[in-house]
Structure 1
């Protein structure tokens, strides 16, 4: 499986939904909580200016947020990305 990183905050419902979808897929991921301003800045730079959470990276691909990942799943494109 591809390396998965997800930037989150503890109270974000979209973060919880994203982690739930990844768990349903049996995907292991690294969660990075961005309460620290330096971590949020790193996330923002890596996500091409996007400041909202979650921000999801699968391998070298910036998927975006939960809605983006859920759309990939509906299109049948998430599983192949996870299998890289």
Structure 2
């Protein structure tokens, strides 16, 4: 049974293929997430996101329970290693 207190947040751009790919995996696994679209972020907001994302500037940026996971590739690596389900239980 999935823990109702797990929070998954994904920062995306509207026309980003990697963002779409990451959301597709989350949807396929029935993992609920909050999507924050950053298309209209100003420079200060982008710098704040970059700081939260350990300096990474690419999108998507994914957080599970406030822990920075990384981007699309990191999400798929967790899935391949069988660790994604454990993080969202």
TM-score under structure 1 length normalisation: 0.92
Instruction: Measure, in 2, the Cα distance between the counterparts of 1:34 and 1:74.
Output: 28
Q: Does 1:6 align with 2:10?
A: yes
State the Cα distance separating 1:42 from its structure 2 match: 2.2
Query: C-alpha offsets along residues 19-76 of structure 1, whole Å, 9 cap, x if unaligned?
Result: 0100011111111111212432221110011110000000132110000010010000
Unaligned runs of 5+ residues in structure 1 are none
Q: Does 1:53 align with 2:59?
A: yes
CA RMSD, 1 decimal: 1.1
Larger Rg: 2
State the Cα distance separating 1:12 from its structure 2 match: 0.5
- The answer for the alignment partner of 1:43 in structure 2 is 49
Instruction: Measure, in 2, the Cα distance between the counterparts of 1:39 and 1:26.
Output: 29
Instruction: Measure, in 2, the Cα distance between the counterparts of 1:25 and 1:62.
Output: 19
Unaligned runs of 5+ residues in structure 2 are none
Count residues in correspondence.
Answer: 83
Q: Does 1:71 align with 2:77?
A: yes
* Comparing 3-12 and 39-48, the one that deviates more: 39-48
